[in-house]
Amino acid sequence: MTAIEGRVWLFGDDVNTDVIHPPAFYSLDPDKVRRGLFHGYDPDLQPSLRPGDVLVAGRNFGCGSSRETSIRSIRLNEVGAIVAVDFARIFFRNATNNGLPCLTFADAGDLARLRQGQRITVDPDTAVLHTEDGSVPLTPPGAFVRRIWSAGGLLELLAPG
């Protein structure tokens, strides 16, 4: 997986999927799904995102619903990766299954080293986050997660036929 370069968007703990993608934006229409990202939380956030930007959060990111529209919206907005202290399990599975790298800090205290809008590089393969001030170690993903990433998503593991 290639390294991701972008700006930091900082979030707190327990950011749930209804906040990430409000139910009113549930749709099969990609444009509607894309526009819904964080719409109630901050209507100006989604239009300001640029490809490669990184969501950085505290504990339990993505708790709540299993609706994959939240992952779809993050992907449609070309967010490059999410780095958090930890993730809610359904969200982590959904993101991984869809090839969106979710990485955790090796040391949860490193969250405090990151600033809103700061430019960073995230290298999922080496599990390191680089800032202009130095590098932040991330927890290396397990073999199973790497296997899904390298396949290009869970569905690529389905045997043909």
Which residues of this protein are in contact with another protein, per CB under 8 A? 13-14, 16, 18-19, 22-24, 26-29, 40-41, 59-60, 63-69, 71-72, 86, 88-90, 93-94, 97-98, 142, 144, 153-155, 157-158
Minimum gap (Å) between residue 33 Cβ and another protein? 10
Give the residue with the Cβ less far from another protein, 59 or 119: 59
At its nearest, how many Å lie between another protein and the CB of residue 123?
23
**Residue 105 or residue 120: which is nearer to another protein going by CB?**
105
Report the DSSP pairing between strands 81-84 and 54-57.
Answer: parallel
Q: Which lies closer to another protein via its Cβ, residue 68 or residue 123?
A: 68
C-beta closer to another protein: residue 19 or 54: 19
